[in-house]
Chains A and B, each alone.
Chain A
Amino acid sequence: EAGVVQSPRYKIIEKKQPVAFWCNPISGHNTLYWYRQNLGQGPELLIRYENEEAVDDSQLPKDRFSAERLKGVDSTLKIQPAELGDSAVYLCASSTRDIPRGNTIYFGEGSWLTVV
Protein backbone atom coordinates (compact mmCIF):
# COMPACT_ATOMS: atom_id res chain seq x y z
CA GLU A 1 0.00 0.00 0.00
CA ALA A 2 1.38 3.39 -0.96
CA GLY A 3 2.14 5.83 1.82
CA VAL A 4 1.67 9.58 1.88
CA VAL A 5 3.27 11.03 -1.24
CA GLN A 6 4.67 14.54 -1.39
CA SER A 7 6.33 16.61 -4.08
CA PRO A 8 8.67 18.24 -4.67
CA ARG A 9 11.11 16.69 -2.20
CA TYR A 10 13.46 19.67 -2.34
CA LYS A 11 12.98 23.25 -3.41
CA ILE A 12 15.32 26.24 -3.34
CA ILE A 13 13.78 29.63 -4.13
CA GLU A 14 14.65 33.27 -3.73
CA LYS A 15 12.76 35.30 -1.17
CA LYS A 16 9.56 36.92 -2.39
CA GLN A 17 9.01 34.10 -4.90
CA PRO A 18 5.98 31.77 -4.67
CA VAL A 19 6.20 28.05 -3.96
CA ALA A 20 3.68 25.23 -3.87
CA PHE A 21 3.75 21.78 -2.33
CA TRP A 22 1.52 18.87 -3.27
CA CYS A 23 0.35 15.94 -1.17
CA ASN A 24 -1.49 12.71 -1.95
CA PRO A 25 -2.67 10.99 1.24
CA ILE A 26 -3.08 7.29 1.88
CA SER A 27 -6.10 5.95 0.02
CA GLY A 28 -9.23 6.14 2.13
CA HIS A 29 -7.82 8.59 4.68
CA ASN A 30 -10.32 11.38 5.12
CA THR A 31 -8.14 13.47 7.44
CA LEU A 32 -5.16 15.34 5.99
CA TYR A 33 -2.64 17.51 7.82
CA TRP A 34 0.11 19.92 6.91
CA TYR A 35 2.88 20.29 9.48
CA ARG A 36 6.01 22.45 9.42
CA GLN A 37 9.27 21.30 11.00
CA ASN A 38 12.09 23.71 11.70
CA LEU A 39 15.62 22.38 12.08
CA GLY A 40 16.10 20.60 15.39
CA GLN A 41 12.47 20.97 16.38
CA GLY A 42 9.39 18.81 16.39
CA PRO A 43 6.75 19.43 13.71
CA GLU A 44 3.95 21.95 14.30
CA LEU A 45 0.48 21.75 12.79
CA LEU A 46 -0.40 24.31 10.13
CA ILE A 47 -3.79 23.04 8.97
CA ARG A 48 -6.05 20.00 9.28
CA TYR A 49 -8.71 18.89 6.79
CA GLU A 50 -11.63 16.58 7.33
CA ASN A 51 -12.51 15.66 3.74
CA GLU A 52 -12.71 19.01 1.91
CA GLU A 53 -13.23 21.13 5.00
CA ALA A 54 -10.40 22.91 6.81
CA VAL A 55 -11.40 22.29 10.43
CA ASP A 56 -8.29 23.72 12.11
CA ASP A 57 -6.23 26.42 10.39
CA SER A 58 -5.49 28.48 13.47
CA GLN A 59 -1.71 28.09 13.04
CA LEU A 60 -1.62 28.89 9.34
CA PRO A 61 -0.09 32.34 8.60
CA LYS A 62 -2.91 33.45 6.38
CA ASP A 63 -1.22 36.54 5.03
CA ARG A 64 1.14 34.47 2.90
CA PHE A 65 0.08 30.83 3.26
CA SER A 66 -2.89 29.16 1.62
CA ALA A 67 -4.03 25.58 1.28
CA GLU A 68 -6.73 23.68 -0.52
CA ARG A 69 -8.02 20.15 -0.68
CA LEU A 70 -10.32 19.91 -3.64
CA LYS A 71 -12.48 16.78 -3.85
CA GLY A 72 -11.24 15.68 -0.44
CA VAL A 73 -8.19 13.80 -1.68
CA ASP A 74 -5.03 15.61 -2.82
CA SER A 75 -3.96 18.85 -1.19
CA THR A 76 -1.77 21.81 -2.10
CA LEU A 77 0.02 24.18 0.27
CA LYS A 78 1.17 27.49 -1.18
CA ILE A 79 3.42 30.24 0.12
CA GLN A 80 3.41 33.62 -1.57
CA PRO A 81 5.65 35.50 -1.16
CA ALA A 82 8.23 33.33 0.60
CA GLU A 83 10.40 34.79 3.35
CA LEU A 84 13.76 33.62 4.67
CA GLY A 85 12.09 32.35 7.85
CA ASP A 86 9.92 29.96 5.83
CA SER A 87 12.90 27.66 5.28
CA ALA A 88 11.77 24.39 6.85
CA VAL A 89 10.44 20.94 6.08
CA TYR A 90 6.76 20.85 5.15
CA LEU A 91 5.25 17.54 6.12
CA CYS A 92 1.94 16.18 4.93
CA ALA A 93 0.19 13.50 6.96
CA SER A 94 -3.06 11.59 6.86
CA SER A 95 -5.19 9.40 9.09
CA THR A 96 -8.47 7.58 9.39
CA ARG A 97 -10.51 6.69 12.45
CA ASP A 98 -11.64 3.45 10.87
CA ILE A 99 -10.60 0.33 12.75
CA PRO A 100 -8.06 -1.32 12.74
CA ARG A 101 -5.71 1.51 11.77
CA GLY A 102 -7.73 4.11 13.58
CA ASN A 103 -6.02 7.20 14.88
CA THR A 104 -2.47 6.48 13.73
CA ILE A 105 -1.17 9.49 11.83
CA TYR A 106 1.09 8.66 8.89
CA PHE A 107 3.59 11.17 7.54
CA GLY A 108 5.12 11.64 4.12
CA GLU A 109 8.81 12.18 3.38
CA GLY A 110 8.43 15.95 3.49
CA SER A 111 9.18 18.84 1.16
CA TRP A 112 12.42 20.56 2.12
CA LEU A 113 12.27 24.29 1.41
CA THR A 114 15.25 26.62 1.40
CA VAL A 115 14.59 30.32 0.86
CA VAL A 116 17.69 32.35 -0.12
Chain B
Amino acid sequence: KQEVTQIPAALSVPEGENLVLNCSFTDSAIYNLQWFRQDPGKGLTSLLLIQSSQREQTSGRLNASLDKSSGRSTLYIAASQPGDSATYLCAVNAGGTSYGKLTFGQGTILTVHP
Protein backbone atom coordinates (compact mmCIF):
# COMPACT_ATOMS: atom_id res chain seq x y z
CA LYS B 1 0.00 0.00 0.00
CA GLN B 2 1.37 3.39 -1.02
CA GLU B 3 2.18 5.75 1.82
CA VAL B 4 3.05 9.41 1.37
CA THR B 5 4.81 11.48 4.02
CA GLN B 6 5.40 15.21 4.01
CA ILE B 7 8.03 16.96 6.06
CA PRO B 8 7.87 19.36 7.79
CA ALA B 9 4.27 19.35 9.02
CA ALA B 10 4.45 23.11 9.50
CA LEU B 11 6.86 25.83 8.48
CA SER B 12 7.02 29.51 9.36
CA VAL B 13 9.43 31.78 7.49
CA PRO B 14 9.98 35.49 6.95
CA GLU B 15 9.09 36.98 3.61
CA GLY B 16 11.78 36.64 0.94
CA GLU B 17 13.21 33.32 2.03
CA ASN B 18 13.70 30.42 -0.35
CA LEU B 19 12.23 27.23 1.05
CA VAL B 20 11.91 23.52 0.35
CA LEU B 21 8.99 21.23 1.11
CA ASN B 22 9.62 17.50 1.12
CA CYS B 23 7.47 14.59 0.05
CA SER B 24 8.40 10.91 0.24
CA PHE B 25 6.51 7.85 -0.98
CA THR B 26 7.02 4.15 -0.31
CA ASP B 27 6.19 2.60 -3.71
CA SER B 28 8.28 3.92 -6.59
CA ALA B 29 5.94 2.46 -9.24
CA ILE B 30 4.10 5.73 -9.79
CA TYR B 31 2.46 7.24 -12.86
CA ASN B 32 2.90 10.85 -11.83
CA LEU B 33 3.11 13.14 -8.81
CA GLN B 34 1.14 16.31 -8.32
CA TRP B 35 1.65 19.22 -5.93
CA PHE B 36 -1.40 21.11 -4.72
CA ARG B 37 -2.08 24.18 -2.66
CA GLN B 38 -5.08 24.45 -0.32
CA ASP B 39 -6.19 27.71 1.26
CA PRO B 40 -8.40 27.63 4.38
CA GLY B 41 -11.99 26.78 3.48
CA LYS B 42 -11.11 26.17 -0.14
CA GLY B 43 -10.55 23.27 -2.49
CA LEU B 44 -7.23 22.15 -3.95
CA THR B 45 -5.39 24.17 -6.57
CA SER B 46 -3.01 22.23 -8.80
CA LEU B 47 0.48 23.72 -8.82
CA LEU B 48 2.69 21.30 -10.72
CA LEU B 49 2.46 17.82 -12.16
CA ILE B 50 5.54 15.68 -12.80
CA GLN B 51 5.24 12.60 -14.97
CA SER B 52 7.19 9.55 -13.81
CA SER B 53 9.63 10.00 -16.72
CA GLN B 54 10.42 13.59 -15.77
CA ARG B 55 12.90 14.94 -13.24
CA GLU B 56 11.45 18.38 -12.62
CA GLN B 57 8.82 20.94 -13.53
CA THR B 58 8.86 24.71 -13.10
CA SER B 59 6.14 27.32 -12.89
CA GLY B 60 7.10 30.86 -11.95
CA ARG B 61 8.71 30.82 -8.50
CA LEU B 62 7.91 27.14 -8.03
CA ASN B 63 10.11 24.21 -8.94
CA ALA B 64 9.23 20.60 -8.25
CA SER B 65 11.68 17.74 -8.60
CA LEU B 66 11.14 14.00 -8.64
CA ASP B 67 13.53 11.18 -7.79
CA LYS B 68 11.40 8.13 -8.38
CA SER B 69 14.06 5.58 -7.46
CA SER B 70 14.48 7.05 -3.98
CA GLY B 71 10.79 7.83 -3.57
CA ARG B 72 11.21 11.56 -3.08
CA SER B 73 9.90 14.83 -4.42
CA THR B 74 10.65 18.37 -3.36
CA LEU B 75 8.80 21.61 -3.94
CA TYR B 76 11.09 24.63 -4.01
CA ILE B 77 9.54 28.06 -3.51
CA ALA B 78 11.77 31.01 -4.36
CA ALA B 79 11.47 34.43 -2.74
CA SER B 80 8.48 33.50 -0.59
CA GLN B 81 5.63 35.99 -0.13
CA PRO B 82 2.83 36.27 2.47
CA GLY B 83 0.40 35.21 -0.27
CA ASP B 84 2.17 31.85 -0.41
CA SER B 85 0.76 31.02 3.03
CA ALA B 86 -1.36 27.88 2.63
CA THR B 87 -1.25 24.11 3.07
CA TYR B 88 0.79 22.32 0.43
CA LEU B 89 -0.10 18.75 -0.44
CA CYS B 90 1.70 16.25 -2.60
CA ALA B 91 -0.17 13.37 -4.17
CA VAL B 92 0.99 10.25 -5.98
CA ASN B 93 -0.97 8.76 -8.88
CA ALA B 94 -0.35 5.02 -9.17
CA GLY B 95 -1.65 4.74 -12.71
CA GLY B 96 -2.89 1.56 -14.38
CA THR B 97 -6.16 0.31 -12.94
CA SER B 98 -5.65 2.72 -10.03
CA TYR B 99 -5.28 5.75 -12.30
CA GLY B 100 -6.64 8.84 -10.56
CA LYS B 101 -6.55 7.23 -7.14
CA LEU B 102 -4.29 9.85 -5.65
CA THR B 103 -2.57 9.02 -2.39
CA PHE B 104 -2.01 12.26 -0.50
CA GLY B 105 0.41 13.26 2.20
CA GLN B 106 -0.96 15.08 5.21
CA GLY B 107 0.39 18.38 3.97
CA THR B 108 2.80 21.08 5.06
CA ILE B 109 1.23 24.19 6.58
CA LEU B 110 3.28 27.15 5.36
CA THR B 111 3.15 30.57 6.96
CA VAL B 112 5.12 33.43 5.41
CA HIS B 113 5.15 36.50 7.63
CA PRO B 114 5.95 40.02 6.45
Which A residues form the contact surface with B (CB < 8 A)?
4, 6, 31, 33, 35, 40-45, 48, 56, 91, 93, 95, 103-110, 112
Contacts and interface: CB of A to CB of B under 8 A. Distances in A.
A38 B111 CA distance: 21
Interface of B: 4, 31-32, 34, 36, 41-46, 49, 51, 89, 91, 93, 97-107
A42 B105 contact: yes
Nearest to B44: A107
Contacts of A93: 44
A42 B100 contact: no
A40 B40 CA distance: 11
A43 B44 contact: yes
B44 A91 contact: yes
B101 A103 contact: no
